[in-house]
Amino acid sequence: MKFVDEAIVTIRSGDGGAGCASFRRERFIEKGGPDGGDGGDGGNIILRVDPSKRTLYEYRRQKLHKAKNGAPGLGRQKHGKNGSHCVLDLPQGTLISDAETLEPIADLTDLGKELVIAHGGKGGRGNKRFATATNRAPRYAQPGLPGTEMKIRLELKLLADVGLVGLPNAGKSTLISAMSAARPKIADYPFTTLTPTIGMVEAPFGEPFAVADIPGLIEGAHEGIGLGIKFLKHIERTGILVHLIDSGEIDPDDPLAAYNLINRELSMYSDSLSGKTQIIVLNKTDLTGTENRIKAFKAALPHRKVVTISAATGDGVSRLVKILAKKLARENRDDQDNPETDKQ
pLDDT of residue 234: 52
The residues near 213 (Cβ < 8 Å, ≥ 6 apart) are: 164, 172, 173, 175, 176, 182, 184, 193, 196, 197, 198, 199
- What band does 338 get if pLDDT is binned at 50, 70 and 90? very low
Query: In the chain, what are the domains?
Result: 3-157 (2.70.210.12), 159-343 (3.40.50.300)
Res. 190: pLDDT tops 50: no
Helix, coil or strand: residue 293: helix
Distance of alpha carbon 298 from alpha carbon 310, whole angstroms: 17
What integer pLDDT is reported at residue 339 of this predicted model?
42
Residue 328 one-letter amino acid: L
Percent above pLDDT 70 for the chain: 80
pLDDT of 176 reads 87
Please report, for residues 169, 225, 249, 279, 280, the alpha-carbon distance to residue 190 in angstroms, rounded to integers and kept in the order given.
6, 14, 14, 23, 21
Are 167 and 244 spatial neighbours (Cβ–Cβ below 8 Å)? no
Phi and psi torsions of 8, nearest 5°: -115, 125
Mean pLDDT of 107-128: 90
Contact (Cβ atoms closer than 8 angstroms) between residue 5 and residue 142: no
Q: Render pLDDT for 235-293 as a digit per residue (tens, 0 to 9).
A: 666 778 899 999 999 999 999 998 998 888 778 766 767 778 899 999 999 999 899 99
The one-letter amino acid at 147: G
Q: What is the pLDDT of residue 191?
A: 40
